[in-house]
Amino acid sequence: MKIDPAIVQIFAENVRAEVIVRPAPVKLDPAIIEKIKQKVPIFNGMSPDCLMRTLSVAEYLPVKAGDIVFSERDIGDSFFVLVAGEVVVEKLSNGKTVTLARLTSGHCFGEMALVGNHVRSATVRVSRDAVTMRFYRELVDANAESAQVIYRNIASILASRLHESSEMLADLVGQNKSAI
């Protein structure tokens, strides 16, 4: 019997997620909560209490410039919010690394792991020392109020990115037709 290696990796990640010791929740000042609510689109529409509960399950990770947060084709079970610093989203195309986006504080990345495929579609590399908040799928899903807002906002973020990608693709196709 042949077993798909991707299935084995998904099961291994799920087991790893169950045995990882999560850090103790961080207590945040209400003024900081309000600032996060205003600056981070994925939390748009959350009540202060819901946002506090959501932030309390985050894993806070400082990362250094040059570090890889995750790589294309990794199995994903979480998304990240960039608190400070800068990351670049990169994808391999024809053996070359292409930069898709530069993200700064307030942006999220890795959210596609929550709404679709478990496999990461791009690599995220830190370009300037950063601090991220990591949110695991099972902890997001455990809070129905928070999950409803986060998933709605992820849909909005992805729709906006799709619109931008469609515009870029249309421009490229137009340029190629002009060159012919």
Question: Collapsing DSSP states into helix, strand and coil, what is residue 66?
Answer: coil
pLDDT at residue number 157: 83
Query: Out of 62-66, 126-130, 140-144, 174-178, which region has the weakest mean confidence (pLDDT)?
Result: 174-178
* Res 18 pLDDT > 70: no
pLDDT tens-digit map of 30-78: 777 777 777 899 999 999 889 999 998 999 999 999 999 999 999 999 9
24-179: which CATH topology?
Jelly Rolls (2.60.120)
DSSP state of 106: T
Question: Collapsing DSSP states into helix, strand and coil, what is residue 162?
Answer: helix
Taking residues 80-107, what's their average pLDDT? 94
Report d(CA 97, CA 153) in Å as an integer.
29
Question: Collapsing DSSP states into helix, strand and coil, what is residue 96?
Answer: strand
pTM: 0.76
* Res 148 pLDDT > 90: yes
Domain ranges for the chain: 24-179
CB of 9 closer than 8 Å to CB of 75: yes
* Res 10 pLDDT > 80: no
* Res 150 pLDDT > 70: yes
